[in-house]
Each structure stands twice: as C-alpha cells, then as structure tokens.
Amino acid sequence: MELLFLVLFSVHILKTEAVVGYHWCYQSQKEEQPTCKDPRQWHLIDATCKGSYQSPINIVTKNVIYDKSLQPLNFEGYDVKGSSKWNIENNGHTVKITLSTSPKIGGGGLRRKYRAIELHFHWGAPETVYLPGSEHSIDGEKQAMELHIVHIREDAVDIDSAKKIPDGIAVLGFFIKVDEENKNYATLINELDNVQYKGKTSQMDPLPLSSLIPPEDDLRTYYRYDGSLTTPDCHEGVIWTVFEKPIELSISQVSQFARVHFDGKNSTYMTENFRPIQLLNERSVYWSSASTLLPPAKVLMLVLTLTYILSSLFQ
C-alpha cells in the first residue's frame, strides 16, 4: 500500500512539474522551439488563458457603447523626466522597460488612481511590406506595433499584490503606425543593441512618459473594456484603455525592434510577438464621449442615412 502511494505521489509530482515547466512562446518561435506552447496552448500552462475576459480583442466600432463618464484621463507626472535610470530588458518575449518614477493616471471613468510600473511593446515582421503586429485591432485593422503602459492601483505594492484585487491593474494601449520619424524614441531605440539577446539588460536615461505617447489633447477618444494580461498567466481583472490616436514611428525605427532575438546569439529574431484576437463573449466595449467625433463606422452610417433622406426628399 505504501509503495502504491509513493508511485502515485511521484506521478503527481512529475505531472505537476511538467505543467509548471512548460515554456510558453509565440507562433513565430515554433520552428526553432517545436515543443514550446504557442498561444493556442497557453491554457495548458494556466487555465485562465481560456477564460471569458481575455485580451486582446477586435474593437467593432458599430457595436461600441457611448459612456459619458469616460472623460479625458488625468496624467500625473507623465511630463516628469526623473533622475534615476530606467531598466530596459529583453525578457525573451518583448522589450520591457521598468520605470524608476511613479507617474499616475486617474479620472476617465477609473474609480481610483493607478501608478505606472513598466511599459513594453508588441510588433510584427519586416517583410516586403511590414507585417502588422499590434495586439488589438479596430474593425479588423491592425497597426505595425502596440505599446502597453502597465499600471497598478496606487495602494498595491507590486503586480502580484495587484492581481489579488479585482480592479488592481489598468493598462493603456497605444497603436503605433508607420509614418514619420519620431525623435522622442531615439534614446529608447538606440538601447535595443544592448538588449539583443534574452536576459540582457541595460540602463537608459529616463524620459517623460508623455514624450512617448501622443499629445494629451489627442487622447480624448479611447475605448474601455474589461480584459486580461496578454501573456501567461493571462490574469483577468485588467481595465483596458485603448486609444484611437496612434503613435508615429518611421519604418526604420519600427524595424529596429525586430532585430532583437527571442533567445541567445543566432536564435530566431523576435518578430510577431503578439497574441491573436480573443473572443469578446458577453463583454461590452465602451467609447469615450470626451470628443464630438464619432467612430468611423458610426460616421459611415450617418452619411448613408443622410444621403438616403436627402435622395428621398428630391424624388
């Protein structure tokens, strides 16, 4: 009996270690690492990845709900450069920057203030035409990249403690489109050479967070929904704010991100490090009423309606 118990216990331990030991990856890594768990298999690492409140999503503008409480966000300390260095790291999945200051956001329908702790990027691949790599999409359209600025409740100690609170995490999502060169990104992009391989870190001069995102006047229109982190453990309970106005970088600047590697020297280039679109399920997506502008689909519907009415009048 004791022998049977030991055998069963050993099997349980091995099974547990196998699950915990899973290496998650993006689909673009499968050729080099065929045994890693791609986004379709993330639920094997954490069951939450198959939850009903997962991110990213496709925002269908004709279905968004207007919410008058979604006034402009208050950005506190976003224009402060700070004196301490930022830590920039290649963590094998993205380029992550840990902030040394604590800028905060409030208002905009948020019930409390949240402080920024880190930012990271998702991007596509530099083929003949640059393949888009944003995680979210609007009416099925993606952009070249996406910036996420992760915030936790100001009364939370760290990301782990924030996960224990239902509204503990708030993420700001910014699309990045290919356009003109953005000199504000020069310092950050120049550091990419120092973090080409997994585990590499570097110290960079801090920047005002406001210099990396569109001007505050352009941040009045945004979408809000309840979602999750977009990497395992896919923690749900994340308040998402996705802005309409994109950040602009040149094709050269965007391509620099795809020159870092998923792993060590001679490993696969880090490309297409985004999670596929997840089902919206029973959730609603809300749109800010801070501007009189209408989402593109609403504008089209209004134009078609007015055209029909005018044509009827003159028949």
Please give the pLDDT value at position 10: 39
What is the model's pLDDT at position 139? Answer: 98
Residue 126 lies in a domain: yes
Q: Which of 12, 23, 93, 148 is catalytic?
A: 93
- Length reported for the chain: 315
Predicted pLDDT at 292: 45
Supply 295's token pair: 């989402």
Q: Name the DSSP class of 262.
A: S
Indicate if 148 belongs to the active site: no
What is the domain count for the chain? 1
User: Distance between CA 156 and CA 93 in Å, rounded?
Assistant: 25
- Tokens of residue 178, six digits: 């290919």
Whether the full predicted model's pTM is greater than 0.95, yes or no, is no
Q: Does any domain span residue 262?
A: yes
pLDDT number for residue 105: 98
Q: What is the pLDDT of residues 113-134, one digit of tens each?
A: 999 999 999 999 998 789 999 9
For residue 206, the one-letter residue type is: P
Residue 185 lies in a domain: yes
The answer to whether the beta carbons of residues 99 and 205 sit under 8 Å apart is: no
Q: Which two tokens stand for residue 265?
A: 């020297």
The answer to whether residue 125 sits within a structural domain is: yes
- List, for residues 48-107, the tens digit of each pLDDT value: 999 999 999 999 999 999 999 999 999 999 999 988 999 999 999 999 999 998 899 999
Domain assignment of residue 9, yes or no:
no
Closest to 94 in 3D by CA, of 274, 255, 235, 267: 274
Question: Could you list the residue range(s) of the whole structural domain that residue 116 is in?
Answer: 54-304
> Which CATH number do you get for residue 257?
3.10.200.10
**Residue 305 pLDDT grade (very low, low, confident, very high; cuts 50, 70, 90):** low
Please list the residues that pair with 65 across neighbouring strands. 286
Please indicate, yes or no, if residue 27 is contained in any of the structural domains.
no
Strand partners, 47: none
Q: Give the pLDDT of residue 83.
A: 86
Model pLDDT for residues 203-219, shown as the tens digit of each residue: 999 999 999 999 999 99
Residue 297 falls inside a structural domain: yes
What percent of the chain clears pLDDT 90, i.e. is strictly above it?
A: 81
Burial category of 271 from C-beta neighbours within 10 Å (exposed 0-12, middle 13-18, buried 19 and up): buried
Whether residue 40 lies inside any domain: the answer is: no
Burial of 151 (0-12, 13-18, 19+ CB in 10 A): buried
Q: How far apart are alpha carbons 93 and 86 in whole angstroms?
A: 19
